[in-house]
Chain A
């Protein structure tokens, strides 16, 4: 018996003689992520992981320049420069050095084709919707493209550069739109970015290889590997065992930070995100949106519930120091995030007074406030798969309990959670939303009658402020500031916090920068200061 056990141990030791970590080879960065990716072709799939990886293969005319307004909203990428011809026209000059990974030059034909595809509502309706103001994209020469807009507004350059990744017309145009997903191009896409498609092992990993002589500079990291691991524990184990170099979204749980502290070779990199976590009030009655919600149609009750939460404590419990308080849908990382008002302070006494003033009292001594025999009780739906939101919901439940408010936490499968939102079949939903860098995109969630305005919040004054900001051609800040203040005062949601993106990675990489709108976009500019496999 012991002899056999000994053999087993010997076998395991023999297995261990081969190094577990990747073999020596090209300088490679292995990134553990929580989503799996099947293809990275723009317009086919837009999960966060796909978008981030796709950004390294398919370039835009220009990349985000830190603001969505004005003619400095982009930095050169495929277009080396642009000029404004009039209030409705922008002309882009393509960089003559830009090449597709098959060696073909990037031309204005590719740009015209990509915009035509992006503006076709049959391809991606939501993309066509954001490009509604782009009325024509024409090739003036091989290297010059002219984009015409329906009206004069401040975000023209942003619209022309942020949303559309350029596809190779010579390869994609012959493929019918609805066959693209199953085409050879989708399996081995050809882009124009710093990395080219190398290999996909379905459900396991995706590998990109650097493009030598990339026209904006050769990447120092030769291979980028994304390992797909849905379990956060597995991702951390990959990192700690040395099989991955970088892990995205280290927290929650915040205890992971202590585990990482045991590994001096690893360091944390963090940067603000565009995400805001909030508790969305349904202002209409669940099941009958023609009637007001019996509790949350009252703005004072919403305000009381908001100031009755100690948001700093909740944020610290879930993300440690890696989150900042929020007072509005604008994340601090957004260029207009600084225009948001200071969050209303935690004030349970004032919250209790507000509720009492609205007639909510504990008349039967059961610990739950009531009014006219109806208890102040409601459900709080949470997607089961959202670790942070599940934690948040439980802490919120406890804090509200102290106020005499009963919130029943209802964890749901993601499909079930998402299905409850559009018909308004909920009281409060634990939401987390990453907006685009444009304030205009917030109208989708908070504008009267907008399709993604699941809480049915409506303030026409607020909408008109955002419209004014969108059309502003000089300084959009005043109407945006007024919009943020209005929304913060209306309490359509309890805006809790904006978590930071926290990455664990080995020390030794230089020039490490993460882009707010697409984390890995600048990885090709990283340097290897003694790091790398």
Chain B
């Protein structure tokens, strides 16, 4: 319990340091957050004063930071300068799409990816191992936006099998739940496949290495000697002991759920948090940028924390360390 509390405190401290740094780094970026409002017509000096007051930009940096921390603790990140709407509302609008895409990718990586990693380990050095290694590394080395565009060209533009962009079809507003669900799924296929294709290599490689190590352990050899079935030996003994290191990876991958993937979101017009953050950064929209930064920081810190906790639960030696 002490270990858990200590680790939780460490996570909170890390988050606080990261957010403090982010706050001051964001404010040191060149550019004016109010400039985005003057693209076509300049703001009058009275408007500038009003806006500075509204967004507390007329306050010293220290006061702005205190106000930011105070608001953040209550879940209030202020109003987006660019959109003129509460940051929380904007984030909550985009979050479900990001979670859906991130969850789909994690699901693929940690089911198919792990299964393929096990198959590689079981067929080490054979053609299937070499083919999968080549394919996964090729995917890893492929730029996601390029792969996304190619998949769109093939499956959406040429074959008309799947949608080219967006997360839902505007024509289905009066359709039944099943149709809407199916529509969401169809829109999810290409972005999820693209992200999974460029990221599945790491879970496969981790799993392969961990399984190879586990398969060499004396208790696995003993299990085989006892006449257990291959399936029992592989999944009941070797895979279970290979799991902790892969679960660590799961914790580290968790942030993708929240942070999103900017390039893939752009290619597929998947309006998630990635594109929202990129837009906020380009427009120097401090409140929105900090709102998404808080979420990203929380995801990274929580992911890392969960990964440690899971590792410690599965391997008591980690707690002792």
Contact = CB atoms under 8 A, between A and B. Distances in A.
Interface of A: 1, 12-13, 15-16, 18, 20-23, 25, 28, 30, 36, 38, 44-46, 121, 125-126, 129, 181-182, 199, 201-205, 207, 225, 227-231, 233-235, 237-238, 240-243, 384-385, 412-419, 421-422, 433-434, 444, 451-452, 533
Contacts of B283: 413-415
A16 B189 CA distance: 11
A40 to B, nearest CB: 13
B109 to A, nearest CB: 15
A231 B46 contact: no
B161 A242 contact: no
B315 interface: no
A207 B42 contact: no
Contact of A418 (B35, B185, B285): B35
B266 A23 contact: no
A234 B269 contact: yes
Given A22-B171, A229-B165, A413-B31, A418 B160 contact: no
Given A228-B269, A241-B164, A38 B83 contact: yes
Interface string B140-182: 0000000001001101110111111111111111110001001
Interface of B: 29-33, 35-36, 38-44, 46-47, 83-86, 93-94, 119, 128, 149, 152-153, 155-157, 159-175, 179, 182-183, 185-186, 189, 266-269, 271, 275-276, 279, 281-285
A234 B187 CA distance: 13
Nearest to A18: B182
- Most chain A CB neighbours (cut-off 10 Å) among B31, B33, B284: B31
Contacts of B271: 36, 202-204, 228
Contact of A20 (B39, B84, B161, B285): B161
A241 B161 CA distance: 9
Given A20-B163, A23-B175, A229-B166, A418 B38 contact: yes
Contacts of A240: 157, 164
A312 B163 CA distance: 39
Contact of B42 (A16, A243, A415, A451): A451
B162 A237 contact: no
Nearest to B45: A451
A18 B41 contact: no
Contacts of A28: 171
- Most chain A CB neighbours (cut-off 10 Å) among B42, B183, B275: B42
B178 to A, nearest CB: 10
Contact of B167 (A36, A46, A204, A225): A204
B180 to A, nearest CB: 11
A422 B164 contact: no
A227 B159 contact: no
A414 B161 contact: no
Given A20-B160, A237-B156, A242-B160, A199 B41 contact: no
Contact of A231 (B163, B167, B266, B281): B266
A36 B167 CA distance: 14
A243 B269 CA distance: 13
12 contacts: A12-B155, A20-B163, A21-B171, A22-B169, A38-B83, A201-B170, A227-B170, A228-B269, A230-B279, A238-B269, A414-B283, A416-B35
A417 B171 CA distance: 39
B36 to A, nearest CB: 5
Contact of B36 (A25, A121, A228, A418): A418
Given A415-B282, A444-B41, A201 B168 contact: yes
Given A230-B266, A230-B275, 20 more contacts: A12-B155, A12-B161, A15-B182, A15-B185, A16-B186, A20-B156, A20-B161, A21-B160, A22-B171, A23-B175, A204-B271, A205-B170, A228-B271, A229-B165, A234-B268, A414-B282, A415-B33, A416-B30, A451-B44, A533-B171
A196 B33 CA distance: 34
B157 A204 contact: no
B165 A234 contact: yes
A413 B281 contact: yes
Contacts of B169: 20, 22-23, 243
- Most chain B CB neighbours (cut-off 10 Å) among A125, A201, A229, A241: A241
Contact of B162 (A16, A418, A421): A16
B166 A204 contact: yes
A341 B226 CA distance: 96
B284 A22 contact: no
Nearest to A22: B171
A126 B39 CA distance: 12
Contacts of A414: 36, 39, 282-283
